[in-house]
Amino acid sequence: DCNMNQKLVEQNVNGIRMRTLIAGSGPPLLLVHGFPLSHEMWLPQIMHFQSRYTVIAPDLRGFGDTDISTGVVTMEQHARDLNSLLQALKIEDPVSYCGLSMGGYIAWEFWKHFADRLHALILCDTRADADSDEGVNNRLKMADLVLRHGPEAISTAMIPNLISESSQQRQPHLSKNLVSMIEATNREGIAASQKGMAARSDFSNQIKNIRIPTLFIGGSEDRLTPPEVMNWMSSQVPESKYSEVSNVGHMAPMEAPEAVNQMMDDFLTAGANA
Ligand code: MLT
């Protein structure tokens, strides 16, 4: 049974109880989920990498089975939680950090504060800049809507921004999984990170200073963080490469797990050790 070496653990991290799925053994691979999801979005990667890596897939503050904090949860707070989690788990070797979208926004803060903990970066469907005024307003409206009416008010409407049309047609279970992941998320948790994203810093002038092997992965149909955004970041980060996944949207690791696993594998076994 290939699930035998998976376990869910709970750690006290910066005043909250954090739930993490740990699987396998070997060099540490940290998987940081997007918004408003949970570690479950990484199941295809967990299954693939657990035979050779210690896969660490937490539920971030306010998501999945991790405790919620109300108010605003900043990207820096999430990065500090991840550092404290690694401490609590006694992971001392530098990690390969793989984050999607909000998991990428958190990666910049993790790099800023804890660069010594990083062996390599894999950044899926994300961006380095902050929001426009309109973007900030939309986030604050969404946070308010979710606080008043719950995640059901946004779940179905989010799908066209998360997966491509062809994924929706060919893999209808993906929308169902995403909708149930979103609807299982606490409204306060969603609002707090949404406000944290609205307040996030602009890293676009800083990423040129990243000295860690970096792989960018993005879906060709990603509407939220499209290929030109991914390409631009890759042009800035010295030791980096951009790999595009055709026919998929913002949730490339869920929509095209085999292609994404292969890209990650090639990078981790060769690129990240170069
Ligand atoms: C995500 O996938 O994490 C979110 O869509 C990010 C965002 O809202 O900018």
* Ligand 1 center from residue 100 Cα (angstroms): 8
Say which amino acid occupies 86.
L
Q: Which tens digit of pLDDT belongs to each residue from 27-71?
A: 999 999 999 999 999 999 999 999 999 999 999 999 999 999 999
* Ligand 1 center from residue 101 Cα (angstroms): 5
Does residue 264's CB lie within 6 angstroms of at least one atom of ligand 1? no
b/e code 214-241 from CB counts within 10 Å (16+ = b): bbbbbbebbebbbbebbebbbebbeebe
Say which amino acid occupies 241.
K
State CA 138 to chain mean position distance: 21
Q: Are strands 54-58 and 95-100 parallel, antiparallel or unpaired?
A: unpaired
* Ligand 1 center from residue 196 Cα (angstroms): 11
* Ligand 1 center from residue 24 Cα (angstroms): 28
Decide if 107 contacts 237 (C-beta within 8 A).
no
Distance (Å, rounded) from C-alpha 234 to C-alpha 237? Answer: 5
Q: Is the pLDDT of residue 274 over 50?
A: no
Ligand 1 atom closest to the Cα of residue 104 is 3
Q: Which two tokens stand for residue 193?
A: 């990170």
Answering whether pTM is above 0.80, one says: yes
Complex ipTM value: 0.91
Classify 185 as helix, strand or coil: coil
Which secondary structure element, helix H or strand E, spans residue 28, and what is its range? Answer: strand 28-32
Residue with the nearest Cα to atom 8 of ligand 1? 35
Of 5 and 143, the structure prediction assigns the larger pLDDT to 143
b/e code 193-206 from CB counts within 10 Å (16+ = b): bbbbbbebbebeee
Look at residue 5 in the predicted model and tell me its pLDDT. Answer: 85
Ligand 1 atom closest to the Cα of residue 139 is 8
Does residue 105's CB lie within 6 angstroms of at least one atom of ligand 1? no
* Ligand 1 center from residue 194 Cα (angstroms): 9
Classify 70 as helix, strand or coil: coil
Judged on CB neighbours under 10 Å (0-12, 13-18, 19+), 176 is exposed
Does residue 253's CB lie within 6 angstroms of at least one atom of ligand 1? no
Q: Which tens digit of pLDDT belongs to each residue from 99-114?
A: 999 999 999 999 999 9
